């Protein structure tokens, strides 16, 4: 009996240590893309403390103009950013998760104008860029050292839609890999379409026709960003012009629309500018941001049986133009970049109800428009 108790006592610290490891890191780096100003001309990095929601400045890279969107590879060693200019570029950086430092590697042309979105596959074979100005999408191969090659494939969208001020031509706004990375879904605000391509990372022309080449949304909607549930069953799209959130069954690369709900409060008459959308890490809630005159995050609950959304709440972002927001990896905080009031505001999240609670910190950052987390060492 004494031997058994001694063995359990010796095992106890090991088990506690294993349990603590399962909980994951408590400290992260927040990498922030922004539009260039006199005070800020690049990507900045902040340390995020998940126990308190506090941000602490670490570093800045000043060699990329208008880094309006960025992505981090799966190993957390490389960062890729678009430079949203008329003659668009894509920048590659190595990243030190210990000190939060970015080191420029190289850059390539985005094969279009005004790139506004970038994503990277899990194997770091390609980055995918949406060029808003030219209405085109590009796939750029990645070298072993993380550097970028020139675009291997460019897909030009064509056409327009009913809103002649906003949709006279194509405006590529996002390039999203499906969770299994078998498909690339490309949103076009100008044509009211989600274009779909099959993806093969081993091919020199990685994007080929999919069984369903594109899906339409309601004319004049302006599809912008989308996100998936962790179980890969459902996809949610935010539409910039009308402020709709549209739910789909992903259906193995053949999305089927099941619902569309408005983000707007009853009687709302102001300007609409829906921007970003994220599913909570546990897959129970959807959050979407609306700029214009609303400046709020709208929260919905997901029905796990059918993917349908139910409105929960709307919360002021305590600033103007929440172009981008993110949920910290622990699921306890929601961070909003208020572009026009130069703040990143951190709010508590209630994991039980999904509701956004009190603002716990606010950090001054010039024109923040993209927030990406990566584990810190």
Residue 5 lies in a domain: no
Residue 12 lies in a domain: no
CA 119 to CA 82: how far, in whole Å? Answer: 10
Residue 77 lies in a domain: yes
Where do runs of H (alpha helix) occur along 115-196?
A: none
Residue 231 lies in a domain: yes
Distances, alpha carbon 93 to alpha carbons 57, 117, 126, 166, 373, in Å: 19, 16, 15, 34, 16
Pair 103, 94: CB distance under 8 Å: yes
User: Which residues lie below 8 Å from residue 6, measured CB to CB, with a gap of 6+?
Assistant: none
Q: Which residue range is the domain that position 46 belongs to? A: 31-375
Which residues share a beta bridge with 314?
A: 298
pLDDT band with cut points at 50, 70 and 90 for residue 3: very low
Distances, alpha carbon 62 to alpha carbons 45, 66, 110, in Å: 12, 10, 19
Residue 98 belongs to domain with CATH number: 2.130.10.10
Residue 22 lies in a domain: no
pLDDT band with cut points at 50, 70 and 90 for residue 25: low
Give percent of the chain with pLDDT exceeding 70.
93
Backbone phi and psi for residue 210, each to the nearest 5 degrees, phi listed first? -100, 165
pLDDT tens per residue, range 39-61 = 777 899 999 999 999 999 999 99
Residue 307 lies in a domain: yes
Residue 193 lies in a domain: yes
CA 129 to CA 346: how far, in whole Å? Answer: 29
The β-bridge relationship of strands 69-72 and 54-61 is unpaired
Average pLDDT, the chain: 93
Q: What is the mean pLDDT of residues 341-366?
A: 97
pLDDT band with cut points at 50, 70 and 90 for residue 62: confident
pLDDT at 47: 97
Residue 23 lies in a domain: no
- Token pair 């190595």 is found at 94
Distances, alpha carbon 98 to alpha carbons 13, 110, 122, 155, 165, in Å: 27, 30, 22, 38, 47
Residues found in the chain:
377
Q: What is the mean pLDDT of residues 195-220?
A: 97
Chain mean position to CA 17: 33
What is the number of domains present in the chain? 1
Res. 281: pLDDT tops 70: yes
Where do runs of H (alpha helix) occur along the chain?
A: 2-22
- Token pair 């994951």 is found at 24
Count of C-beta atoms within a 10 Å radius of residue 346: 22
pLDDT at 15: 37
């Amino acid at each position: 009996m004494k031997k058994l108790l001694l063995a359990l006592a010796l095992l106890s610290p090991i088990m506690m240590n294993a349990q603590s490891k399962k909980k994951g890191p408590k400290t992260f780096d927040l990498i922030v893309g922004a539009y260039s100003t006199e005070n800020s001309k690049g990507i900045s990095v902040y340390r995020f403390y998940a126990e308190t929601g506090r941000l602490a400045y670490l570093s800045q890279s000043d060699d990329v103009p208008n880094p309006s969107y960025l992505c981090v590879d799966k190993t957390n060693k490389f960062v890729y950013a678009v430079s949203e200019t008329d003659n668009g570029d894509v920048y590659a950086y190595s990243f030190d998760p210990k000190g939060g430092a970015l080191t420029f590697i190289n850059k390539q042309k985005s094969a279009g104008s005004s790139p506004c979105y970038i994503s990277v596959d899990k194997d770091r074979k390609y980055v995918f860029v949406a060029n808003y100005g030219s209405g085109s999408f590009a796939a750029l191969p990645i070298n072993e050292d993380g550097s970028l090659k020139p675009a291997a494939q460019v897909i030009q969208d064509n056409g327009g839609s009913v809103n002649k001020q906003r949709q006279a031509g194509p405006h590529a706004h996002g390039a999203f890999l499906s969770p299994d990375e078998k498909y690339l879904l490309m949103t076009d605000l100008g044509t009211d379409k989600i274009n779909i391509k099959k993806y093969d990372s081993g091919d020199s022309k990685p994007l080929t026709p999919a069984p369903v080449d594109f899906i339409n949304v309601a004319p004049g909607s302006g599809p912008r960003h989308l996100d998936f549930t962790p179980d890969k069953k459902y996809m949610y799209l935010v539409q910039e012009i009308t402020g709709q959130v549209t739910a789909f069954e992903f259906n193995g690369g053949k999305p089927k629309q099941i619902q569309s709900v408005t983000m707007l409060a009853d009687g709302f008459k102001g300007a609409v500018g829906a921007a970003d959308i994220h599913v909570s890490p546990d897959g129970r809630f959807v959050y979407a941001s609306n700029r214009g005159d609303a400046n709020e995050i709208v929260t919905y609950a997901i029905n796990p049986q059918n993917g349908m959304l139910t409105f929960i709440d709307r919360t002021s972002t305590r600033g103007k133009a929440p172009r981008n927001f993110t949920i910290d990896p622990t699921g306890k905080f929601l961070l909003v970049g208020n572009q026009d009031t130069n703040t990143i505001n951190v709010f508590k999240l209630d994991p039980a109800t999904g509701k956004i609670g009190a603002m716990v910190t606010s950090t001054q950052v010039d024109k923040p428009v993209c927030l990406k987390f990566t584990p810190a060492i």
